[in-house]
Amino acid sequence: MRRCCQALGLPCLAKGSPVPRSPRPRFLLLFDFDETLVDENSDDSVLRLLRGRALPEPLLHGPRSGSYNQHMQRLLAWLGEQGVSPAELRALYESLPLSPGMAELLQLLSKHRESLELVLISDANVFGVEAKLRAAGALSLFRKIFSNPASVDGRGVLVLGPYHSHRCPRCPPNMCKGKILSEYLEQRAREDVEFQRVFYVGDGANDFCPAGILREEDVAFPRKGYPMHRLIQEEQPGAFRAAVVPWESGAEVARYLQEVLGGRC
């Protein structure tokens, strides 16, 4: 005797019966990594692995020519040549401290996966970003991570590359976060996913570009007193369309999002 699937508490799989669709996320939440999700610049943090070694003169004062991404390519290659292993680099990235209140914010986000789609855009590198998120138990929260490619070559050296090329005059040559966000929104729209509101949490000058394409109903969360916040403040009245909510602790972002998710904001 056949028993109805629904009588067993299961969706009906009979021919012609619609399969229930997962709810589409209502909101898109974007994060920067360095000095936003974590409380350090991870590029600077790798210098802790020098351990008494002296940097060669070309690497001592940062990029004098070329991009910062190219400078980091040379620095990581040099560290590898000095015997710094990928395991040491991974452990360093894992140890980066979360910014104040970020643990509370991530805890909130883990409870609202159906309503919030999370994306991270970082000018650091995929190797380091994923290592930290995995160590924090937060990697699975993010649908997509956009960062500079980095992989271990046959010599055991972490090889870094640029993310892409672009024509934005504001952004470093290896990454325009505004282009990444625009293309992501277009892709999701083609997939029949459009967001009621977009939220952007960042700190740096390169976070100002993507925040600049937000709409009036969207919200920019610049870290208080950091370059993104100062650039927004310097904009002409009305030029920056999104609402602006500066933060010193991720707990402030969590409280705002809790209001949104509760329909009170």
The four Cα atoms 120, 125, 127, 130 give a dihedral, to 10 degrees, of -20
Calculate mean pLDDT across residues 95-124: 97
Assigned domain for 111 exists: yes
Assigned domain for 123 exists: yes
Assigned domain for 13 exists: no
The total number of structural domains that make up the chain = 1
pLDDT band at residue 66 under the 50/70/90 scheme:
low
Assigned domain for 236 exists: yes
Distances (CA, A) of 237 to 61, 199, 241: 38, 21, 9
Flag whether pLDDT at 148 surpasses 80: yes
Calculate mean pLDDT across residues 22-28: 81
Q: 39 among the known binding-site residues?
A: no
Assigned domain for 188 exists: yes
Give the DSSP H or E segment for 68: helix 68-81
Predicted local distance difference test score (pLDDT) of residue 236: 85
Predicted local distance difference test score (pLDDT) of residue 7: 45
Catalytic residues, by residue number, are 32, 34
Mind listing the pLDDT tens digit for each residue in 130-142? Answer: 999 999 999 999 9
Predicted local distance difference test score (pLDDT) of residue 167: 95
Which among 252, 258, 255 is positioned nearest to 99, based on CA atoms?
Answer: 252
Of 27-36, 176-185, 231-240, least confident by mean pLDDT is 231-240
Distances (CA, A) of 228 to 11, 136, 189, 245: 48, 25, 27, 12
Q: 34 among the known binding-site residues?
A: yes
Task: Determine the Cα–Cα distance for residues 153 and 73; give it in Å rounded to an integer.
Answer: 13
Assigned domain for 153 exists: no
**Which residues form the domain of 217?**
27-38+98-148+162-262
Assigned domain for 14 exists: no
Q: 153 among the known binding-site residues?
A: no
Assigned domain for 195 exists: yes
Mind listing the pLDDT tens digit for each residue in 232-256? Answer: 999 988 889 999 999 999 999 999 9
Task: Specify the CATH number for the domain of residue 240.
Answer: 3.40.50.1000
